[in-house]
């Protein structure tokens, strides 16, 4: 009898932990032209390295804002970096001091002052089947 009760409970727990979620990311303050690149990270040591993003979304804006959706994400912590490639050279351009010359942003709208923000500062906890966040692009130059 105990096995019959326990097995469904174990299966339900496994199913819940494997539940896949959607994260809707609205990016605002976009320039009129230029591809928007969104990188999603799930580990602090990968944050900021575009080659180590677990998900990359690319979109062409039609207005001053856009919403992109990352699907099939397990529940957990994520940090997001965004930039708009105004000249469409597929990279974020920087000046001689390493400061981006194209619009960029991070989840939680963290505004870096001296160095890039940390994963912890940008961390978003995904806990619902569908969740939305908003990120406003900034341009230092």
What is the tens place of the pLDDT at every residue in 44-102? Answer: 999 999 999 999 999 999 999 999 999 999 999 999 999 999 999 999 999 998 889 99
| Torsional sign, CA 87, 89, 94, 100 | positive
CB 40 within 8 A of CB 53: yes
Pick the closest to residue 38 from 88, 98, 106 (CA basis): 106
The answer to the question of residue 16 being in a domain is no
- Using DSSP, state whether 75 is helix, strand or coil: coil
The answer to the question of residue 9 being in a domain is no
The answer to the question of residue 129 being in a domain is yes
Domain range spanning residue 112?
21-136
> For residue 67, what is the domain's CATH number?
2.60.40
The answer to the question of residue 122 being in a domain is yes
The answer to the question of residue 6 being in a domain is no
The answer to the question of residue 107 being in a domain is yes
The answer to the question of residue 141 being in a domain is no
- Using DSSP, state whether 1 is helix, strand or coil: coil
- Using DSSP, state whether 16 is helix, strand or coil: helix
The pTM assigned to this predicted structure is: 0.85
The answer to the question of residue 40 being in a domain is yes
Contacts of 42-46 with C-beta under 8 Å, sequence gap 24+, read 42/76, 42/77, 42/78, 43/119, 44/79, 44/118, 44/119, 44/120
Domain count for the chain:
1
Digit-coded pLDDT (tens) for 9-36: 444 444 444 568 999 999 999 988 899 9
């Amino acid at each position: 009898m105990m096995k019959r009760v326990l097995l469904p409970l174990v299966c339900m727990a496994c199913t819940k932990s494997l539940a896949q979620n959607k994260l809707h990311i609205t990016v605002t303050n976009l320039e009129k032209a230029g591809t928007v690149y969104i990188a999603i990270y799930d580990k602090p040591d990968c944050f900021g390295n575009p080659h180590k993003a677990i998900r990359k979304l690319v979109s062409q804006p039609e207005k001053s804002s856009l919403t992109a959706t990352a699907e099939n994400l397990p529940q957990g912590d994520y940090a997001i970096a965004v930039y708009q490639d105004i000249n469409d050279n597929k990279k974020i351009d920087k000046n001689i001091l390493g400061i981006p010359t194209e619009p960029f942003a991070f989840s939680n709208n963290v505004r870096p002052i001296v160095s890039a923000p940390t994963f912890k500062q940008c961390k978003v906890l995904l806990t619902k089947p569908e969740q939305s966040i908003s990120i406003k692009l900034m341009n230092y130059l």
